[in-house]
Amino acid sequence: MEEKKLVVLTHGGAGSDPAFADGTAIAGQVCMMSLQSGDPVIDATCHAVAALEDDGRFNAGIGSHKRNDGTVQMDASCMDSAGTFGAVAALEGFKNPVRVARIVSQSEYKILAGRGANQFAADQGCETFLPHQVAKTGADFSTTDTVGCVVRSGDQFACALSTGGIDKAVPGRVGDVPLIGCGLYAGADGAVATTGAGEVIAMKVTALRAYQLLERGMHPQAVVATVIAWFEETTAFGIIVVSKNGFAGGANRGMAWTASEMVANREGDEPRSRNLRGGVEGRGRSG
């Protein structure tokens, strides 16, 4: 009987505390349950990222860093291998930017920014939050800690990202997260989600170039090692990758990330699942 492989990887950002891998694992479980219930792969991926936005320990959603004027501006995006893409940039006052990005992906637009993104989210009835509800994590804000997810569901792939950006950046600063092919990319050969210094990631068109390595048949573990080597040690960078050949993740500093896999047959028999890894990886290593 034909089997369908489900693979979910979630990360808490380059520089995130590896002790927070419980949060990435829970987000992965949320995604798996969504896939099992028959949700489209891009929706399941966004559910994982929304769970990370709600965690409060990561730099996204209620855990977002503040700009140098005390405001919270967030970027988020989602993409799937069917060619769906949507993103928001410098969104303010909404609890789950990734859900707004998902709604954008279903509209006539691809990226909405600033005041227009806020109005769009309000018109769509997206859940709001107030600045005082942003979690005081007390984390080391020299790190970045954005969140992301990549998913394989049979022959379909998806990815999503969300971030509060760089701590104390000027209002209006936008990094790699909402830029297709920079922070994320998904296609028929796999999905890629990155984290780290957004300006450097964007200038290297990192996610698309990583995806092109998958297209050429490179194993995800080799892709992770190759792409991490594109970045200086002093530049925070992390990446998670899934393809039909496997999965991998890694960073040039600590990163909470987890992966799980499930094999279900398409007739709905009891699935077999296993957690494949959790915790932190050092430079150049992958799992």
> What is the binding site for ligand ASP (CB under 6 A)?
13, 59, 144-146, 163, 165-166, 175-177, 183, 195-196, 198, 201
For ligand ASP, the closer CB: 63 or 165: 165
State the DSSP string of the chain.
--EEEEEEEEE--TT--GGGHHHHHHHHHHHHHHHHTT--HHHHHHHHHHHHHTTSSSSSGGGPPP-TTS---EEEEEEETTS-EEEEEEE-SBS-HHHHHHHHHTSS-SEEEHHHHHHHHHHTTPPB--GGGS------TTS---EEEEEEETTEEEEEEEE--STTPPTT---STTSBTTTEEEETTEEEEEEE-HHHHHHTTHHHHHHHHHHTT--HHHHHHHHHTTS-TTS-EEEEEEETTEEEEEESS---EEEEEEEEETT-PPPEEEEEEEE---TT---
Residues acting as catalytic residues = 146
Based on CB atoms, which residue is closest to ligand ASP, 13 or 250?
A: 13
Residue nearest to ligand ASP (CB): 198
For ligand ASP, the closer of residues 32 and 98 by Cβ is 98
User: Measured from the CB of residue 36, what is the shortest distance to ligand ASP in angstroms?
Assistant: 29
CB-nearer residue toward ligand ASP: 177 or 227: 177
